[in-house]
Amino acid sequence: MTAAGPAWHVRCPRCGTHASTLDVTINDDPDLIDETARATGLAQLRRQNNATVVERIRSWGAPDGARLLDVGSAHGWLLQRATAQGLRAVGVEPDVAVARRAIGAGSDVRIGFFPEALRPDDLFDVITFNDVLEHLPDPREALAESASRLTPGGLLVVNIPDRRGIVYRVADVLRRLGVPSVFDRLWQRGLPSPHLWYFDAGALTRLGCSLGLEVVEVTHLPSMSRAGLWERAHFDRRPSPVTVASVVVGWLAAPLLNSRSLSDIMLVAFRKPSGV
């Protein structure tokens, strides 16, 4: 890795993957974030994309009763959707307050980190990472552990920000011009679980293939919802001229930002070979 701007931001000169050295402080300060506002800001987009993810999982062959693990299951929205679609869904979530909310809403969630929160003999037909892999210190180790926890023919599905998305590229340009706030926000700098990685599709698919997995599909999901946009921008801060401007721009540009060619959210699915 080589320095790529701020002291905490580095880039792999070989594959182009961006990384950070930001501190992870989950559960250190439960009052840092207005969790209700964050849930309001994210709910519509996450529920919409979760519905698409579950539909794709079924189309890739997951049968009724297939056992699904959602790593970093947060509010349990994907678990709810998967259960409604006939899958047996369980989550792992390290944020105690968020996990308890999900459990209170009826989701099956184990509080703790992946894979420590699992039992040694736990196996799954589907494992999902929804806006989670980018927060983990060692994505390769997480995917390798996932592969070992999949049944033969099982699916590993990763929904993750794309460093080639238009918002990330614009934010990086603004940073170079001396306006770092949007770039800092994309990395979730100062939050308990910041982004530690920004992959592109090529780097992520190569990583999965190096672990013996087969690529099923690479596509993009919508990255912006007008509903909840104000709360999404302010769940941890007061309004400022920059945040207000960001909300206005995001609201106006939402249809463009949600196109497959410009979206900042990619969906990559792998399958474990049946003979393994």
Q: Residue 48 belongs to a domain with what CATH number?
A: 3.40.50.150
Average pLDDT over every residue of 210-230: 82
Q: How many residues does the chain have?
A: 276
Per-residue tokens: 26: 């989950």
pLDDT of residue 228 exceeding 90, the answer is: no
Instruction: Output the pLDDT for position 128.
Output: 98
Are 259 and 223 in contact, with CB atoms under 8 Å apart?
A: no
Average pLDDT over every residue of 28-38: 76
CA distance 152 to 146: 12
Helices first, then strands: H and E counts in the chain: 9, 11
- In this structure, is residue 133 part of a structural domain? yes
Query: pLDDT, tens digit, for every residue of 97-108?
Result: 999 999 999 999
- Between 166 and 151, where is the model more confident? 151
Per-residue tokens: 171: 């934010």
- In this structure, is residue 155 part of a structural domain? yes
Neighbours of 40 (CB within 10 A): 16
Average pLDDT over every residue of 125-130: 98
How many domains, the chain?
1
Average pLDDT over every residue of 17-41: 83
Q: Which range has highest mean pLDDT (3-12, 210-219, 227-236)?
A: 210-219
Instruction: Output the pLDDT for position 258.
Output: 64
**∠ CA 206-210-213, rounded to 5°:** 90
Least confident of 14-28, 85-99, 167-181, 221-235: 221-235
Instruction: Output the pLDDT for position 104.
Output: 96
Q: Which domain holds residue 125?
A: 2-271
Query: pLDDT, tens digit, for every residue of 40-77?
Result: 667 777 888 999 999 999 999 999 999 999 999 999 99
CA distance 19 to 249: 26
CA distance 66 to 89: 8
Q: Assign 245 to helix, strand or coil.
A: helix
Instruction: Output the pLDDT for position 66.
Output: 98
Instruction: Output the pLDDT for position 34.
Output: 74
- Between 29 and 236, where is the model more confident? 29
- In this structure, is residue 37 part of a structural domain? yes
Least confident of 74-83, 88-97, 102-111, 175-184: 175-184
Least confident of 162-171, 208-217, 237-246: 237-246
- In this structure, is residue 276 part of a structural domain? no
**DSSP-assigned letters across all residues of the chain:** -EE-SSTTEEE-TTT--EEE-PPP-TTT-TTSS-HHHHHHHHHHHHHHHHHHHHHHHHHTTPPTT-EEEEET-TTSHHHHHHHHTT-EEEEEE--HHHHHHHHHTT--EEES-TTTTS-TT--EEEEEEES-GGGSS-HHHHHHHHHHHEEEEEEEEEEEEBTTSHHHHHHHHHHHTT--HHHHHHTTTTSSS---EEB-HHHHHHHHHHTT-EEEEEEEE----STTHHHHHHTTS---HHHHHHHHHHHHHHHHHTSTTT-SEEEEEEE--TT-
**∠ CA 95-130-55, rounded to 5°:** 135
CA distance 138 to 97: 24
